[in-house]
Chains A and B, each alone.
Chain A
Amino acid sequence: DTGVSQDPRHKITKRGQNVTFRCDPISEHNRLYWYRQTLGQGPEFLTYFQNEAQLEKSRLLSDRFSAERPKGSFSTLEIQRTEQGDSAMYLCASSLADSTDTQYFGPGTRLTVL
């Protein structure tokens, strides 16, 4: 197993465009998380799934953001009508739903909105 993968690694877009990111978790992990990280800050939680169910969404996740995990495997995060303030690193993590809930992170997708 190669760990959590994310695609693309970098995305540059113009303001107002829609973007979609993909995350492939570690295969046996049933929990999947999305975080956002801006320069100089720690990652901020956005949302998480247990299998295909989206169980929690942060207040940071505005109506322009939507995440899916249709078959309980990979997940997508879409941002509609991007704004310059959306520029950040978007991180995905996965974990087993056990007592420790140790999360393993992917390399992230760096989004730049011009």
Chain B
Amino acid sequence: DAKTTQPNSMESNEEEPVHLPCNHSTISGTDYIHWYRQLPSQGPEYVIHGLTSNVNNRMASLAIAEDRKSSTLILHRATLRDAAVYYCILPYNYGQNFVFGPGTRLSVLP
């Protein structure tokens, strides 16, 4: 099963960019990389996913290394509402469920 490694916590100042790293050295060729975030007392919220190319959406950008063994979630201008636990996930069992690690707790300072 593919496994991910993320820093336990990170801090950012409001309105500055944030780069959240994830290592997934055992990724297979067909594994999508998913990012979710979870605010306190809420369910995880989908942020972005990608396979090989960098991806952008209204919430964030996902930069995927050429060898696919790592990726970085980029929040272009952090706001206080971005304070959450961010999970980098690879699918398990042919994409039929997710294995969540402890994630990265992002604090945003005003």
Contact = CB atoms under 8 A, between A and B. Distances in A.
B42 A41 contact: no
Most buried by A among B32, B49, B98: B98
Contacts of B100: 35, 42-44
Contact of A42 (B87, B93, B95, B96): B87
A105 B45 contact: yes
Contact of B98 (A45, A55, A106, A108): A45
A101 B43 contact: no
A102 B97 contact: no
Contacts of B99: 45
Given A42-B101, A43-B100, A107 B87 contact: no
B102 A42 contact: yes
Give chain B's interface residue range (CB within 8 Å of chain A).
20 to 34
Interface in A71-114: 91, 93, 99-108, 110
B68 to A, nearest CB: 15
A31 to B, nearest CB: 8
Contact of A102 (B34, B42, B43, B87): B34
B93 A101 contact: no
A50 B92 CA distance: 16
The 8 closest A-B pairs by CB, nearest first: A42-B100, A105-B43, A101-B95, A45-B97, A105-B44, A108-B43, A43-B100, A107-B43
Given A55-B96, A102-B34, 4 more contacts: A31-B96, A33-B97, A42-B103, A102-B49
